[in-house]
Amino acid sequence: MHVAVPLCLGGFSPSASVVYNFSRHENKQTNCSTTAPLWPFIKMRALLLVALHAALCCPSSGSHGENIQTLMDHVLVLRVPYGVGSRVHVSLTCGEAYENQPVFWKKDGMALSPPLQGNQVMVLVEEMVGGNYTCHLGPDGEYLNHTMILIQLDPDNRTVILEEKSPEEGHIHCSAPNYKGSFHCTWRRTQSRANAAVLLVKAERHMEQIPCVLDADSSGLRCEDVNCPYNEEKHRISLTLYIYSASRLEVYTKTFYLREIVRPARLPNLNVSDGRVFMWRYPDSWEKPCTYFGLHFHVKVVPSGHLCNSEEYIVNGTTEDTKYDVSLKTKKYVFCVRAQDKFTRGPWSPWSQCIVNKQHVHC
Which tens digits make up the pLDDT trace of 17-28?
A: 222 222 333 333
Report the pLDDT value the prediction gives residue 35, as an integer from 0 to 100.
35
Rounded Cα–Cα distance for residues 91 and 2 (Å): 7
CA dist list (Å): 211 to 16, 73, 202, 252, 279 = 53, 19, 9, 18, 39
Percent of the chain with pLDDT over 90: 58
Report the pLDDT value the prediction gives residue 45, as an integer from 0 to 100.
37
What's the burial of 107, exposed, middle or buried (CB within 10 Å: 0-12/13-18/19+)?
middle
* Average model confidence (pLDDT) across the chain: 81
Whether residue 99 has pLDDT greater than 60: yes
Rounded Cα–Cα distance for residues 307 and 79 (Å): 48
Rounded Cα–Cα distance for residues 347 and 266 (Å): 12
CATH topology for 1-153 is: Immunoglobulin-like (2.60.40)
Report the pLDDT value the prediction gives residue 40, as an integer from 0 to 100.
39
Q: Tell me the backbone φ, ψ of residue 303, rounded to 5 degrees.
A: -60, 155
Report the pLDDT value the prediction gives residue 274, as an integer from 0 to 100.
80
Lowest mean pLDDT among 1-5, 6-10, 119-123, 194-198: 6-10
Report the pLDDT value the prediction gives residue 329, as an integer from 0 to 100.
83
Whether residue 55 has pLDDT greater than 80: no
| Higher pLDDT, residue 110 or 62 | 110
Which tens digits make up the pLDDT trace of 274-327?
A: 878 999 999 999 987 777 789 999 999 999 999 999 999 999 999 999 999 998
User: Looking at this protein, which amino acid is placed at residue 102?
Assistant: P
Q: Tell me the backbone φ, ψ of residue 298, rounded to 5 degrees.
A: -95, 115
CA dist list (Å): 4 to 92, 135, 151 = 8, 17, 16
Rounded Cα–Cα distance for residues 322 and 295 (Å): 10
Rounded Cα–Cα distance for residues 73 and 47 (Å): 44
Report the pLDDT value the prediction gives residue 331, as an integer from 0 to 100.
84
Percent of the chain with pLDDT over 70: 80
Report the pLDDT value the prediction gives residue 194, as an integer from 0 to 100.
92
Rounded Cα–Cα distance for residues 287 and 351 (Å): 19
CATH 2.60.40.10 fits 173-261, yes or no: yes
With contact defined as beta carbons under 8 Å apart, do 164 and 173 qualify?
no
Residue 59 confidence class, pLDDT cut points 50, 70, 90: very low
Structurally, at CATH architecture level, domain 271-362 sits in Sandwich (2.60)
Q: Is the pTM of this model over 0.85?
A: no
Whether residue 56 has pLDDT greater than 90: no
Rounded Cα–Cα distance for residues 176 and 178 (Å): 6
pLDDT average, residue stretch 217-221: 96
Residue 183 confidence class, pLDDT cut points 50, 70, 90: very high
Closest CA to 278 of 289, 267, 264: 267
User: Looking at this protein, which amino acid is placed at residue 83?
Assistant: G
Per-domain residue ranges of the chain: 1-153, 173-261, 271-362
Same fold, 1-153 and 173-261: yes
Whether residue 132 has pLDDT greater than 70: yes
Task: Output Rg (C-alpha) for the chain, integer angstroms.
Answer: 32
User: Looking at this protein, which amino acid is placed at residue 200?
Assistant: L
Residue 229 confidence class, pLDDT cut points 50, 70, 90: low
Report the pLDDT value the prediction gives residue 255, as an integer from 0 to 100.
96
